[in-house]
Every structure is written in structure tokens, then in C-alpha cells.
């Protein structure tokens, strides 16, 4: 996880497992499951989950950006092959 406050997240294991399962479902099924989750936990908890999910997405994006920058720097540092 990054040091940026925009990249912080804390998702309970059971919810993380549900989200992982939902990644394999078509959009309509994901939506139905999230509507059901909202009914069970309420809108405030669903808003908290969404806020945590945004932090998770930010963290993944930051990790990808760091990896891309690292690869670009490695390519720059790599000597050109002799002709």
C-alpha cells in the first residue's frame, strides 16, 4: 500500500471474498449482489465499503504506475545493443 492517504483502505475479509467472487460475475449479477448487500448492511455501510474500494483502486493504480515507471527507467538505463 502507498503512503498516500488517497490509497488507504481496509476491507473485511468476508467482504473482500465477496468482492473477489463478484469479479467473475456479469454486470447484472454484480449489481444484484450489491443491491442485496445494501439491503443487508444499509446505505451507510455500503458507502463506507465504496470509499474503501476507491482507496483500494487508488492503491492498485499507484502500484501499477510505480511498476511502469520502474520498467521505463530500467529501459532507459539499459545500454543500446552495438550495431
Q: How many domains does the chain have?
A: 1
Q: What is the pLDDT along the chain (83 residues), one digit of tens a residue?
A: 446 777 778 888 888 898 889 989 999 999 999 999 999 999 999 999 999 888 888 888 888 888 888 777 777 877 777 77
In a domain, 2, yes or no: no
Burial class (CB in 10 A: 0-12, 13-18, 19+), 55: buried
In a domain, 83, yes or no: no
Look up the pTM and report it: 0.65
Domain, as residue range, for 17: 9-77
- Pairwise CA distance, residues 53 & 14, whole Å: 14
Amino acid at each position: 500500500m502507498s503512503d498516500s492517504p488517497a490509497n488507504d483502505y481496509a476491507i473485511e475479509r468476508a467482504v473482500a471474498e465477496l468482492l473477489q467472487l463478484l469479479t467473475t460475475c456479469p454486470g447484472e449479477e454484480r449489481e444484484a449482489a450489491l443491491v442485496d448487500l445494501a439491503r443487508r448492511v444499509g446505505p451507510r455501510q455500503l458507502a463506507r465499503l465504496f470509499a474503501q474500494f476507491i482507496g483500494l483502486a487508488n492503491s492498485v493504480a499507484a502500484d501499477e504506475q510505480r511498476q511502469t515507471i520502474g520498467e521505463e527507467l530500467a529501459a532507459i538505463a539499459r545500454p543500446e545493443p552495438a550495431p
